[in-house]
Amino acid sequence: MQFDPFVIPFNIGLYFILIYAVVRCVLWFRDLSRADKLRLQRGFFGRPFAKSLKEIFMESLIHRKILKSNFRLGYMHMSLAFGWFLLILFGTIEADIFGTRHLNPPYKAIFFKFFNPEHGRNGIEAFYAFIMDFLLAFILSGLLLAVIKRFSSRVVGMKKTTRLKTLDKVALTSLWLIFPSRLLAESFTSAAYDTGSFLTGSLGSVFASFLPVNELAYPFWWLYSISLGTFFILLPLTRYMHIPTELFLIFARNSGIRTGDHYGAFTEIQTYSCSSCGICIDTCQLNLSTGITDIQSAYLLKGIRNNEDVKDIANNCLMCGRCDQNCPVGIELTPIRMIMRREPETKSGDNGFFEKYFPSHVKIPVPKTNGSLVYGWLPAVKTTKAEVLYFAGCMTHLTPAIKKSMIKILDAAGVNYNFMDEEGGVCCGRPLMLAGKYKQARELINYNSKIIKQSGANILVTSCPICYKVFRESYYLNIDVYHHSQFINSLINEDVLRLRFLRKKITYHSPCELGRRSGVYAEPKEVLKHVGRLQLTRHEDENAYCCGGSLGNMHISYAQKKKIASDAAKDLTRNNPDILATACPLCKKTFSPVTETPVADIAEIVAEAIILSHPDKKNYSKVISLKEPVDISE
């Protein structure tokens, strides 16, 4: 058996990281809820497994999503991940075929050149050596980009890159050293034996002309091994933990596990799957408009990993979900942030060295209402029976034009409805949830639930996407919840609402809570197409802006919110629409003061287009059939 002491650091590192990864996965699995464990077990023997393998190949190795959005950055990630993967794969095959024996220990593949210096002189061997050189060159080109990115992120098409902690820097250095040291070690050995392909061979000959390559080769093989070993040992303490964790995450997600509002093993897996690539910083409007660059999701997750107090980071966010859409790993960033806004049950303490590898995390339980009620003084309300319940919501009461339009539409369509908060109602609870006050929110939810149940309605229509989201996800009601844009769309489709064409150019701004956070993109646009000419912008659907008026952020000033709003409005009205349409009273309120273009809610536009006296007008009669909204769970 071929052996040399220099392979020891590599071996220690490799076996350490393999054992560590297994132990960590077992611990995570143990912490999953019973239902999630079952999901995972089922997923292992079903389609999710194949799907995960495909996803791991496409995303963890090829980095398809990053390639699509930013080629240079994608190339950097792909060359390092996919290149390294191929190098190991081909190295193993090489060692197996051309080595002295079959089924070698891993180090034989990694240090093949050292043990087989004569390899690659001619024929198939030379061709194989060419492939190996080519892969090394591929990785090195990515590494070059990575080094440049550290010093100037703009080169790879990024405006910002993440800041690192000390351990990350040590790990980063060892990662950077791996491939250059391999290149040099192989070049020196190749020069000594006059082998090597286009890269190591030619570089070796150059070195041989002025360097004592025979003596130099050995120390560089040591350096190569030490870099690998250091990298593996430090990996669990750094952001590179994302490499093994991401595999587990992809499998868990494909098995149907979601974050929910519980801080548990899955949240932790997601936290460790973040590679700090910084794409979330680039898409964040707080960065783009107000230059705030220390609160984005990459920093939130890093803070959670390091057991820091992340309250300020968690609270300083518009909760628009743009980063979720753009995260190449697909981490549920905004739901995690929602959890981090709540009060933790235990405080995080300082971790010892061992605990750094197996950190204990804070517990953040889902609060329940118990004991004394904060809103116990709210009066009991009696409702009349109705088929459809209309809940305008606080923000709609502050934008009465929308409320008035909705009443006109409901009346024109002959809907048998009951205006639940006509006299002013109780808040839906979402603003409190956004502020981390789940317990208080639950009280309001219970209060409203009683009223809704009493009414006997089958359908709840709301004008506010903020209410819509919470009604749909956090109320345990046997009732269909619709945003008014969906309801109007169904009224049009059922032909109980006749509209004329307004001959206006309309640009639609998709509200965060309705679009990205609830998955309703199509219906509002369908409605608008009935009444006007819909102009598309570069910010449709998932790419929509946040208006900046978010209830989710109480940290930034009005001036900063206004800056975000006016930047967004400016971009949205670039092709001079007659109306900037939205489907959210808060978006309307935020955009109105910052743009010359009239801003209107869909309901207002539809109300203007209503043809009132229609001769054979059918009245809205039965519960209409609507497609189930897309399920995106929080």
Partner 1 sequence: MKNKVIVIGGGTAGMEVAGQLAKHDCTVTLLERSAETGGHVRDWYHLFPDRKDSREVINYLENLIRHKSISLFTDTDVNDIVRENDFFVVRTSDGKELQADAIVVSTGFDLFRSERKEEYGYGIYDNVISSADLEKMFRNDEIKLQNGNIPSKIGMVHCVGSRDEKVGNVYCSKLCCVTAVKQAIEIVKRIPEAKVFCFYMDIRMGGALYEELYKEAQQDYGVNFIRGKVSEVSQDIDNKLITKVEDTLTGRPLKIGLDMLVLMAGMEMAESGQKIALSAELDTGENRFFKATDLHYGSNKSNKNGIFYAGTCTAPMNITETISHARAAVIDVIDYLNDRSN
| Site of interaction with partner 1 (CB under 8 A) | 397-401, 403-404, 422-424, 558-559, 562, 588-589, 592-593
Nearer to partner 1, 5 or 424 (CB): 424
Q: How many CA atoms lie within 13 A of 437 on its CB side?
A: 14
Query: Token pair of 112, please?
Result: 């093949």
**Which ranges of 99-165 does DSSP label H, i.e. alpha helix?**
106-110, 112-115, 123-151
Q: Shortest distance, CB of residue 384 to partner 1, whole angstroms?
A: 15
Question: Quick one: 144 or 374, whose CB is closer to partner 1?
Answer: 374
Q: Are 80 and 146 in contact (CB under 8 A)?
A: yes
H helices, E strands: number in the chain:
30, 8
Per DSSP, the residues of 466-523 read HHHHHHHHH---SSEEEEHHHHHHHHHHTT-S-B-----EEEEEPPTTTTTTT---HH
Instruction: In angstroms, give the least distance from the CB of 423 to partner 1.
Output: 8
What DSSP state is assigned to residue 376? Answer: T
CB 471 → partner 1: shortest distance, Å?
21
Q: Kind and range of the H or E element at 311? A: helix 311-315
CB of 68 to partner 1, least distance (A): 39
Cα–Cα distance between 262 and 471 in angstroms, integer? 19
Of 451, 467, 476, 455, nearest in space to 388 by CA: 455
Q: How far is the CB of 597 from partner 1 (least distance, A)?
A: 14
Amino acid at 590: T
Question: In angstroms, what is the minimal distance from the CB of 629 to partner 1?
Answer: 28
DSSP-derived secondary structure letter, 60: I
At its nearest, how many Å lie between partner 1 and the CB of residue 378? Answer: 13
What is the C-alpha separation between 226 and 308, in angstroms, rounded? 31
List b or e across 150-162, with b for residues whose CB sees 16 or more CB atoms inside 10 angstroms.
Answer: eeebeebebebbb
Strand partners, 535: 507
What single letter denotes the amino acid at residue 427? C
CB of 398 to partner 1, least distance (A): 4
In the complex, minimum distance from the CB of residue 402 to partner 1, in angstroms, rounded to a whole number: 9
Nearest approach, Cβ of residue 268 and partner 1 (Å): 40
Report the alpha-carbon distance of residue 506 to residue 577 in Å, rounded: 5
Alpha helix stretches (DSSP H) within 341-399? 353-357, 394-397
Question: Measured from the CB atom, is 118 or 596 closer to partner 1?
Answer: 596
> Could you tell me the smallest distance in angstroms from the CB atom of residue 399 to partner 1?
5
Report the 10 Å Cβ neighbour count for 606: 28
Of 475, 525, 469, the residue nearest 319 (C-alpha): 469
- Residue with Cβ nearer partner 1 (120 or 511): 511
Q: Is 79 helix (H, G, I), strand (E, B) or coil?
A: helix
Output 68 or 404, the one with its CB closest to partner 1.
404
- 148 near 269, Cβ under 8 Å? no
Distances (CA, A) of 607 to 385, 591, 617: 26, 20, 17
Residue in the structure block whose two tokens are 């952001």: 239
Distant-in-sequence, close-in-space partners of 62: CB < 8 Å, separation ≥ 6: 78, 82
Find the largest Cα–Cα distance for the chain: 99
Find out whether 388 and 480 touch, Cβ atoms under 8 Å: no
Task: Rank residues 243 and 398 by Cβ distance to partner 1 and give the closer one.
Answer: 398
In the bound state with partner 1, the residue whose beta carbon lies nearer, of 403 and 439, is 403
Distance from C-alpha of 557 to C-alpha of 169, rounded to nearest angstrom: 35
In the complex, least distance from residue 608 CB atom to partner 1, rounded to whole angstroms: 13
How far apart, in whole angstroms, are the C-alpha atoms of residue 137 and residue 130?
10
Q: State the nearest-atom distance from the C-beta of 426 to partner 1, in Å.
A: 13
| Smallest distance from partner 1 to CB 435, Å | 19
- Nearer Cβ to partner 1 (557/613): 557
